[in-house]
Copies of this chain bind each other. A is one copy, B any other.
Amino acid sequence: MYKVTKPTLLLDKKKAIKNIKRMAEKAKASMVNYRPHFKTHFSKEIGEWYRDLGVKSITVSSIDMAVFFAGHGWDDITIAFPVNILQMDVLKHLAKAVKLGLVVESKSAIEAINSEIESAVDIYIKVDTGYHRVGIWHENVEEIKRLGEAIAEPHQFKGLLAHFGHTYAETKKEKIQSIYKGGVASLNSLRDQIDKNLKISIGDTPSCSIVDKFENIDETRPGNLIFYDVMQANIGSCTYKEIAVCLAAPVVAVYPERSEVVVHGGAVHLSKDKLEDEEGTYFGKVVALEEKGWSTPIKGCRVKSLSQEHGKISVPKDQIEKIKIGDVLGILPVHSCLVANLMKEYMTLRGEKIGTMFG
């Protein structure tokens, strides 16, 4: 049994494994490579849970993260972030050690790879299918073709990589499916026009959660779905019961007169990522901690504001009398990746500590 005396990120290992197993099976049934994004958990030990399910290839979001996981037995790593040409010396060494996938979207990045990396790397061109964060607009076929042609031996133009990040703004299944289908169609049209051997890699948690079977793609890279969070529950990617992490936060002050409690659990634990609903802004939903996990969100109970260490929680009037200083409340995070990054460590429901690349 776990014991909490200060802000602690609880991890329900069973739920997490169930979440990734469901995805691994879906990918297998669709004959698609599952290359999970490790930017959600940052943990060598959690990485092994994927390995136990047969996962051999991973995605990371930074060069530091690639170096960390390369040091822990992962030898097929894609860095799904545009190449930072200032770190070519690190990439050069990494390319010697592992099968490295790099994402580019500019001539200067390709030139840097061509001239500075000796060992063969797989190059993916980042394609924008509507999110407008990074990538080349999918209709710019000639530009993508030209970039592909600029890739020199021993490196290989391996595929087209996209992130349908605009699914995060949706809450309707049909909308997410439509973004997914449109994106996959755009990528296939591009592939048809450029080179039929190119691989198509996609990876947002909403569409990967909602789509039943993958077609016309080669690889899927979701990360967040191992833990999920309130944002994903709102989108419809998961139910509240599937959320596998929960911040345990001790109550340090109770205010019956304003129906609020304050916990030790602030912006340095929960991040400032927030959501809005009809009652206003919130930074997490409150659950009751139980020996075997936690409840679904308590109605009307939410983290309404955060400062660095304080979390202010509104509580329904009829429940405030039940909460005492020294109680521990559970908070389902709005965005689990950022919370894992801040907390640097997990505690399982059996009380085992699990570290990350940060500690």
Binding site for B on A (CB under 8 A): 4-6, 39, 61-64, 81-87, 105-106, 108-109, 132-134, 165, 250, 252-254, 258, 262, 264, 267-268, 271-274, 305, 307-310, 312, 324-326, 328, 337-338, 341-342, 344, 358-359
Contacts and interface: CB of A to CB of B under 8 A. Distances in A.
Given A62-B264, A272-B272, A325-B106, A81 B309 contact: yes
Nearest to A61: B309
A86 B253 CA distance: 13
**Residue of A64, A86, A273, A344 with highest tally of chain B CB at under 10 A:** A86
Contact of A81 (B4, B82, B310): B310
Contact of A310 (B4, B133, B358): B133
A262 B128 CA distance: 14
B253 A106 contact: yes
Nearest to A257: B137
Contact of A312 (B4, B133, B273, B308): B133
Given A85-B325, A267-B338, A272-B273, 5 more contacts: A82-B252, A86-B250, A105-B253, A108-B326, A271-B271
A310 B326 CA distance: 39
A167 to B, nearest CB: 13
A250 B84 contact: yes
A161 to B, nearest CB: 14
14 contacts: A4-B86, A5-B86, A6-B87, A39-B309, A62-B309, A81-B252, A82-B253, A82-B262, A84-B250, A105-B253, A133-B262, A308-B338, A308-B341, A359-B359
Copies of this protein in the assembly total: 2
A308 B253 contact: no
Contacts of A250: 84-86
Contacts of A165: 307
Nearest to A90: B5
A242 B344 CA distance: 32
A267 B271 contact: yes
A104 to B, nearest CB: 10
A237 to B, nearest CB: 17
A268 B106 contact: no
Contacts of A258: 132
B272 A106 contact: no
B253 A324 contact: no
Contacts of A358: 344, 358-359
A289 B273 CA distance: 28
Contacts of A310: 81, 133-134
A240 B308 CA distance: 23
Contacts of A64: 6
A356 to B, nearest CB: 12
Contacts of A4: 86
